[in-house]
Amino acid sequence: MNVGLPAVRKLGSLVVALAGLCAAARAGAGAILCIPNYDYSVEVDGSYPRNATLYQSDSPGKYFIDVPACKNGLLMDLHDKRVVAVPRDLVKPVDGKLQVSDSPPSGATAYALSVDGPIVQFQAEDRKVRILRCLDRPPIVGEVEFNALIADRAEYREAMKVYAPDAASIARMNKYVKKVQLDVFFATWCPHCKEYMPKFLRVMSEVKNPNIKLNLYGVPKGFGVAPGPWQGRNINSIPTIIVKIDGKEITRMGSQPGATPEVELAGTLDAVK
């Protein structure tokens, strides 16, 4: 839903996208209800703290930003182009959401926000805060450990929680006796990877078979000509998962609409006994 305000439309593509989001439920008078939006990342002083989160609210144009290092919460109003400090005792969990006071105390500190292309930014408590699409963050490039990837990317971590793999497929994978190597090439800037990788990572988090080895490689934009472990592998699209059994490449998996990676992978293993 677009709020339809000319002033908001002029703030840039990111702001228009943010202002078009709203939660379904309404809070009581003087408060707004907020839910996390992991399509956007919160950068603080050039880094991305694990629990720094943007929350969209049920009030068009208003967003709550939680920066753990800040003393106060931050209520962003895109209509007024400002961010207001909200004492933490005025932020309360309610039914899986955050209830945030929409009436900060008199004299509450306010900060001006600005727009730099697709990025919203402001200074709060001497910290530089930027809000940008998660796909626009600097990419992970090269080999990355499973736990490091999950810790770094909230959009992957949170989407993993809502995917329920097929239990029978997981059970078959856990009983497989041959040596399996999965070389996974993906990109944190890729929207297809953003949809597919959380499902695949959730599957691998439930696979406890020591015969199955997982290698994760983040690729940069222009990976066709950039040096890296993807060179010479005939990788033309991402994500690409190369499945090797006993050292021999058997097949490749990729993102397809409605893909269920555990079913596809279990089927491949079933075919190679």
Going from the N-terminus, what domains does the chain have, and what CATH number goes with each? 6-134 (no CATH), 142-271 (3.40.30.10)
Q: What angle do CA 249, 254, 255 make, to 5 degrees?
A: 170
Q: What is the pLDDT of residue 224?
A: 85
**Buried b / exposed e across 30-42, counting CB within 10 Å, b at 16+?**
ebbbbbbbbbbbb
Query: Rounded to whole angstroms, how far apart are CA atoms 9 and 17?
Result: 9
Q: What is the pLDDT of residue 17?
A: 54
Q: What is the pLDDT of residue 14?
A: 54
Q: What is the pLDDT of residue 171?
A: 98
Q: Which residues of the chain have pLDDT under 70?
A: 1-29
Q: Which residues contact 83 (CB under 8 A, 6 or more apart)?
A: 65, 74, 75, 76, 77, 110, 111, 112, 113, 122, 124
Closest CA to 212 of 236, 241, 187: 241
Q: What is the pLDDT of residue 15?
A: 53
Q: What is the pLDDT of residue 185?
A: 97
Q: What is the pLDDT of residue 96?
A: 87
